[in-house]
Structure 1
Amino acid sequence: MKAVTDSPSSRRVKFAELASKRVNRATAAIGSIGNLSNRTNYEWTEQDAKKILRELRKAVKEVEDRFFNKGGRSGRTFLIEP
């Protein structure tokens, strides 16, 4: 017999809570990345910006694949050389 905390409605509540927290945290982090575009404070190249955006698109694509295509995680680490 399943535990009460494992009911479909409690799993939905848990999903909604975690999804809201994680998406809000991710969008805040993306906003912080956007702050790096300030050329007064930072020196960056167009190549750097393209690399960042390409990596973000890959991460979003992986999430999409996990939801709809049962894809796995890449486990890669992003790095821009100074």
Structure 2
Amino acid sequence: MKKESKRENFVRIAEARTNKIINMIQLLGNCSNQSLYEYSQKDITKIFNAIQAELDEAKKRYSKQDSQKGSKFTLE
């Protein structure tokens, strides 16, 4: 059996994790149905600010800039 290269390992894992994130974002979008859920614009802003902050931190890690792990997200 051929040992997986670092590149092949990265591609396999990055694709799987990216697809998982995309799926979770799509599921989050399902919460926009106002006949099933009640939320405020403040809630939506807080959710997407938290997601954007984590995206920014992850991107910094690829550009070798300093980054800090984010804390758990809560609406309260």
Residue 43 (structure 2) aligns with: 48
Distance 2:54 2:70 in 1: 10
Distance 1:48 1:70 in 2: 30
Residue 62 (structure 1) aligns with: 57
Q: Deviations over 1:35-63 (max 9, x none)?
A: 11111110000000000010110011011
Distance 2:5 2:64 in 1: 25
Percent of paired sites with the same residue: 28
Residue 75 (structure 2) aligns with: 80
Give the CA deviation at 1:69.
2.9
Quick check: which one's helix share is greater?
Answer: 1
Structure 2: runs of 5 or more not aligned: none
Give the CA deviation at 1:72.
3.3
TM-score (norm 1): 0.82
Q: Which has the higher contact order (CA 8 A, sep 6+)?
A: 2
Structure 1: runs of 5 or more not aligned: none
TM-score (norm 2): 0.88
Aligned length: 75
